Amino acid sequence: MKVSIITATHNSEKTISDTLNSLEQQTYKDIDFIIIDGASKDNTINLIKKCSRVTTIISEPDLGIYDALNKGISAATGDIVGFLHSDDLFAYPDAVKDIVSTFVDSGCDAAYADLEYVSKDDKNKVIRLWKSGQYQRDKLKNGWMPPHPTFYMKRDLYSRFGLFDLSFKIAADYDSLLRYLWSNKVKMAYLPKIVIKMRVGGASNRSLKNIILKTKEDIEALKNNRIFWPRALLIKNFSKIPQFFIKK
């Protein structure tokens, strides 16, 4: 299977080298690596051009990260599509290989795995472990979701079920996962391995204003997909607490 991996960048010179290096080290060969850059003014593009496995670079102004990811999906040529954010990295060299094996072995239409949140300044210092657990569709009613940076889905399903909704500024990934998994019942499989290291400091938790906006958008996403939002949102937020205490 050919795998399209999309990275959205914007003035990402401080972290993009780690991201690119983790992609370069992947043992799986058939990767369509797409960079969607929001017209960076720093050294991001020059660093990207040094990566031999980049297949497509689009650098132009965009409407934010979800617009950039939508452009990437539209440009993708792989059988399956995933995302590698510009401050994230694959946890080990066989990560993509294991993701593909999950698709092949299970016959699924989407797959997900575990994720580590790591220190912004030290990618080897684990802050939080998101151990996803086996998939059951009813878990979505309790606010469960797979870590989006570990989520891979067959490309044709994006055409059938839609891309990211740009009316969401922070929670378009949650809205899209509910649309695919709850409303359209996409068949999904779990890879019980940590495949992504994600630096702390994402947009959704960057400020009180963003936390409030994220909450409002989560409610809207749940309503859009006809899930009882008070229960889902309450459990969703409280379920994160144990992730700070779980060890590898």
Position 218 scores a pLDDT of: 95
Do β-strands 126-130 and 80-83 pair in parallel, antiparallel, or remain unpaired? Answer: unpaired
pLDDT at 205: 53
pLDDT at residue 47 in the model = 97
Count of Cβ atoms closer than 10 Å to residue 53 Cβ:
14
Confidence of residue 208 (pLDDT cuts 50, 70, 90): confident
- Judged by average pLDDT, the poorest of 111-125, 155-169, 181-195, 200-214 is 200-214
Going by DSSP bridges, is the β-strand pair 31-37/54-59 parallel, antiparallel, or unpaired? parallel
Looking at residue 211, its amino acid is: I
What is the three-class DSSP state of 1? coil
Task: Tell me the pLDDT tens digit for each residue of 124-135.
Answer: 999 999 999 999
Residue 193 has pLDDT above 70, yes or no: yes
Top-tier CATH class for 3-244? alpha beta
Per residue in 71-101, pLDDT (tens digit) is 999 999 999 999 999 999 999 999 999 999 9
Question: What's the chain's Rg over C-alpha atoms?
Answer: 17
Identify the band that residue 201 occupies on the pLDDT scale cut at 50, 70 and 90: confident
Task: Grade residue 184 by pLDDT with cuts at 50, 70 and 90.
Answer: very high
b/e sequence 86-103, b meaning 16+ C-beta within 10 Å: bbbbbbeebbbebbbebb
Q: pTM, whole model, 2 decimals?
A: 0.93
Instruction: Look at phi and psi of residue 29 and say left if phi exceeds 0, alpha if psi is from -120 to 50, else beta.
Output: alpha
- Percentage, residues of the chain above pLDDT 70: 96
* Residue 21 pLDDT exceeds 90: yes
How many Cβ atoms sit within 10 Å of the Cβ of residue 29?
A: 10
Question: Residue 198: which of 132, 133, 236, 147 has the closest Cα?
Answer: 147
